[in-house]
Structure 1
């Protein structure tokens, strides 16, 4: 009988896990430097949490099931909705705002596996709840860009839009909520030909040629802040989107204050979900090709959708697996240091008990330590220490032990020192 891992999942071996842990540690440091604290939510939630957020059609993408009490549950496909649930359950009435929290964990979607897309994947993200916008939005974008830069990813392109501009136009032309949702999904796909067909084909989604022409021109506006006059000219006849444009202009000024130097204004970024209300952004790494998007986020009104009081919320989720692809693609692969600080090598059977004692002493004093458990000959012990690239080797022989000493070998310089066992901790710490 042969057992294989489920389709769309992966095994991570030692070196890859160390690289992922290193990236995770880097992200944690950046998030915590902004005052964010980590939370964790369950791997499975009630199914209705996600159908309320995204509609019943999402069920086709979920690993949903009934438990033994016939409750409808699902493995989480993302973490934004669980965070909103956690806020309503635990934080809404007890915690001063703004609330800054971050998360890291695996999610599950039943999709066709392909390069950069798996059925089990990891997200690293945050939520800023109860901060005024656009200053809260500017800080969140700054956090996101700092996190990506800290990983050595230097070609990331931050694309920013304000959905209030499009929604203001919809309001002016009295477009129904259902039609708005339909066209926003099309815009979000980023397929210009599909959008043209949807707006100007035989059966256009919106039966208003004036609005259709404005939308087609609007989503073509991509660039730096120099495109703002073009946006102003395009929406000049309509009052409803003007307040959102002013908020976008204010955000641009704040990004400069937060030292976000490189970004793209892209009026075609839609984040095609109804609960996004204001600033939205996506981050692309062109070198990743079709799977170039590594991050999506913005301001939303999800807590209200779940029955809570209206509260300003801004957040984003980094696709951790695609971040790792980008790191591999764009950065020089540094040789990882050994997973050990010290390797203990007993060179005869009679000294092994003392070798184990010394190993435990080193471990209890914070040294990552391993010891030979197989009774290898000395030459093989040396070869093994070289192979794992450990910097310090503690060689334990009967003659040295009789004098209360061990030999500490520096595996980089080749130098050796006889060290009193009682002083070995201080010696290694000084080294």
Structure 2
């Protein structure tokens, strides 16, 4: 028996209904913030992702040569394609440009709980400005999305990449090796970061002070420890967030987002229900367009790991109940099948989600099937009732049934 490839999944109807329900909540929230949906190709030139993340990303890519000998990769994330799309077709549009997207991404890594080789990402980009107000807007939208999905226990951590970059530069780390150090600090890999910094000539007490900086976490009072423009900037961001009613955050100078293109504010959201691997969302302010042949444009964006946040919701005990259909039409005998088809067609035309028995089941088995597909009502079509232009309507929740005129069937169900 052929199985789906390792690290991928099939979604059966009940699971697919649940996923669409939560997807649409995210879409609705984005639209209430004035964002509009886009879609980009699932595969792109591999160079797009190498320019964005560096050559090491090739180890994680599903990359191949197409029949034209072009280097192609399945997208491992969706920020780079979104900005490539902006450079290609939206760079002259009025700013800011507010876009969001949802889709499949692919990374060749070891599958584990909530992490797959084919995974789904929801993200948004506010392109054309990076101010305290726009940064707050983006963080608040992410917070609203998490809340709208029903996740109860989560925390947003806000930092500023400039704080650690300055500390590392002051320590004498060469600019070309900054990203290497930041990636270690981002993952709190201090045992790996220390020899790396020592090799670059950084003294132990300076290394300790850098590590201490990454562990600086707290309320807005922590900003007193953040010197200069970065501290002032974060004070303005958090003031806007308070004004917009978002208070479930802390200042965390250890949030690094270990990628070169981040320029200022960075943030992450965590769900403790997931244990050690608890990140569900991340983003910040950045510039990428100049790497893809466009003018330098400041932007702020984020991505939500859709599979991760659904797992967190599940672990909190939230259960999605599939809706089922509204009506299931059961012909009592063969001589009423044509009329039954006419009735189900009229229900569907009126917007009533309906199905009809096409297997010729006996009444007991038809009722059992109606229960299995979670039908709210069963419409029983019998010859005797049709003489009075009526059908029997059975409420599957209460078990009550009554005779209903066919002309009143839709209003009796809705």
Q: Which blocks of at least 5 consecutive residues in structure 1 are unaligned?
A: 233-241
| Aligned residue among 381, 386, 407 for 2:392 | 407
Please report the RMSD computed on the Cα atoms of aligned residues, expressed in angstroms.
1.7
Question: 1:16 and 1:67, CA in 2 relative to 1: closer, same or farther beyond 3 A?
Answer: same
Q: Which residue of 1 aligns with 2:106?
A: 108
Question: 1:54 touches 1:273 (CA, 8 Å); kept in 2?
Answer: yes
Q: Partner of 1:124: helix, strand, or coil?
A: strand
Rounded to whole Å, the distance in 2 between the matches of 1:333 and 1:428 is: 26
Rounded to whole Å, the distance in 2 between the matches of 1:298 and 1:205 is: 28
Rounded to whole Å, the distance in 1 between the matches of 2:166 and 2:26 is: 36
| Aligned residue among 201, 204, 207 for 2:199 | 204
Question: 1:392 touches 1:408 (CA, 8 Å); kept in 2?
Answer: yes
| Aligned residue among 337, 348, 352 for 1:363 | 348
Q: Report deviation, 1:171.
A: 4.5
Moved more, 42-51 or 395-404: 395-404
Q: Which residue of 2 aligns with 1:397?
A: 382
What's the CA shift string for 1:96-117, capped at 9, x where partnerless?
1111111000000111112221
1:380 aligns with 2:365: yes
Q: Partner of 2:276: helix, strand, or coil?
A: helix
Rounded to whole Å, the distance in 2 between the matches of 1:219 and 1:275 is: 19
Q: Which residue of 2 aligns with 1:188?
A: 186
Rounded to whole Å, the distance in 1 between the matches of 2:130 and 2:284 is: 13
Q: Which residue of 2 aligns with 1:230?
A: 225
| Aligned residue among 248, 260, 264 for 1:274 | 260
Spell out structure 1 runs of 4+ moving beyond 6 A. none
Q: Which residue of 1 aligns with 2:149?
A: 151
TM-score by length of 1: 0.92
Q: Which residue of 2 aligns with 1:308?
A: 294
1:416 aligns with 2:411: no
What's the CA shift string for 1:128-183, capped at 9, x where partnerless?
11234111111111111111011111211111110111223344456422221111
Q: Partner of 1:290: helix, strand, or coil?
A: coil
Q: Report deviation, 1:423.
A: 3.1
Q: Which residue of 1 aligns with 2:321?
A: 335
Q: Which residue of 2 aligns with 1:239?
A: none
Question: Where in structure 2 are the equivalents of 1:57-206 lying within 5 Å?
Answer: 57-93=56-92, 95-172=93-170, 175-199=173-197, 203-206=198-201
Q: Which residue of 2 aligns with 1:344?
A: 329
Moved more, 168-177 or 402-411: 168-177
Question: 2:184 touches 2:190 (CA, 8 Å); kept in 1?
Answer: no
Question: 2:130 touches 2:285 (CA, 8 Å); kept in 1?
Answer: no
Rounded to whole Å, the distance in 1 between the matches of 2:103 and 2:9 is: 15
Question: 2:172 touches 2:202 (CA, 8 Å); kept in 1?
Answer: no
Q: Which residue of 2 aligns with 1:236?
A: none
Count matched residues: 414
TM-score by length of 2: 0.95
Q: Which residue of 2 aligns with 1:248?
A: 234
Question: 2:255 touches 2:266 (CA, 8 Å); kept in 1?
Answer: yes
Question: 2:161 touches 2:263 (CA, 8 Å); kept in 1?
Answer: yes
Q: Report deviation, 1:291.
A: 2.1
Q: Report deviation, 1:244.
A: 1.7
Q: Partner of 1:246: helix, strand, or coil?
A: helix
Q: Partner of 1:295: helix, strand, or coil?
A: strand
Q: Which residue of 1 aligns with 2:5?
A: 6
Rounded to whole Å, the distance in 1 between the matches of 2:298 and 2:123 is: 17
1:219 aligns with 2:219: no
